[in-house]
Amino acid sequence: MTQTKIKTCIRIDIDTIRDTEVLPTILEILDEFDIPATFFVTTGIDATFKNYKNYLNPMKLLQHNAIKQHGIKQMFRGLIHKQQIQKSENVKSILKNNHELGLHGYHHYNWINTLQHKNLNEIIEWISNGCKLFEDEYGFKPKSFASPGFATSPQFLEALDDFNFEYSSDFRGTDAFYPTINSRKLSTLQLPVAQRSFGELEFEGFSEDEIYNRFKSDLDNAHDFFIFYMHPSYEPILKKHLLIKVLEYITSNNNFEFVTLSDLAKNVKRRNPVENPANI
């Protein structure tokens, strides 16, 4: 009897201009390992510089790798240049390398910080704007979605159903599901991310060895699929050795099979995923 392999997916979120600038590094790594990946690009102006007002102590910028990740230029470019993230030519190289590309919201900073205060129609307008910018740039409508910062609300989940995305990836967890609101099942499949990014874990104080062992343990205990995510300006640049170590473990193990999230969604839909066990 042939053992079913754990379908393993890499989700890569493009949040900033800096992420687009360093895309060649992660694309080279993926090519080296012959791994298909799923990228999500945010649309609209890069306003990452607004995050830095939270760092009143300059030493915290150094401690948390903010400068290393984004660069000094990133901290000031948004004040002067209103750059549209989706317009970077580097993003098109994702498609040329046969990876999947989906939509990562609209105006990333505003999305994370104000989504909870938006009503259904406002969120539909936001997603519509993102879809238009995406289609204008790449020539096709996005087939998938991932909410910036894993920000969700009941209104957001309802809004998703207006767009007929093949799936969305807006939660953390280990099981695919269809959300329910007031006992009403929604129609957009959710594919959760199973593990926090290297950057998040490092921020919480985990060492590289601890992060590797955490990923290895979660992979070994996965029962159906495993999705992990990263940003082009962090893991491939600041934690390249650790990333390669994780990829080597996965590719050397016959229990795992790399697929895109789109391929995973098709597989999951054939098997009738459960409704979200907790009403949202």
By C-alpha distance, which of 175, 193, 274, 197 is closest to 19?
A: 197
Tally of domains within the chain: 1
φ, ψ at 146 (rounded to 5°)? -145, 125
CATH number of the domain bearing residue 61 = 3.20.20.370
Q: Is residue 26 one of the residues assigned to a domain?
A: yes
Rounded to two decimals, what is the model's pTM?
0.89
For 33, the 3-state DSSP assignment is: helix
Q: Is residue 238 one of the residues assigned to a domain?
A: yes
| Residue 75: predicted pLDDT | 57
Q: Is residue 280 one of the residues assigned to a domain?
A: no
Q: What is the pLDDT of residues 15-31, one digit of tens each?
A: 999 999 999 999 999 99
Q: Is residue 185 one of the residues assigned to a domain?
A: yes
Unique residue bearing structure tokens 């082009």: 232
Q: What is the pLDDT of residues 97-137, one digit of tens each?
A: 999 999 999 999 999 999 999 999 999 999 999 999 999 99
Q: 220 CB contacts (<8 Å, ≥6 apart)?
A: none
Q: How long is the chain?
A: 280
According to DSSP, the residues that pair with 79 across neighbouring strands are none
Q: Is residue 42 one of the residues assigned to a domain?
A: yes
| Residue 83: predicted pLDDT | 85
Provide the 10 A C-beta neighbour count for residue 53: 7
Instruction: List the beta strands (DSSP E) in 57-123.
Output: 100-106
Q: Please determine, for residue 53, whether its predicted confidence score (pLDDT) is greater than 90.
A: no
Domain that holds residue 101: 6-275
Q: Is residue 78 one of the residues assigned to a domain?
A: yes
For 3, the 3-state DSSP assignment is: coil
DSSP state of 221: H
| Residue 121: predicted pLDDT | 98
By C-alpha distance, which of 181, 195, 203 is closest to 229?
A: 195
Q: Is residue 43 one of the residues assigned to a domain?
A: yes
**CB burial of residue 127 (10 Å; 0-12, 13-18, 19+):** buried
**CA geometry: angle at 135 spanning 130 and 140, to 5°?**
135
| Residue 33: predicted pLDDT | 98
Q: Is residue 1 one of the residues assigned to a domain?
A: no
Q: Which pair of tokens denotes residue 203?
A: 């921020």
Mean pLDDT of 9-13: 98
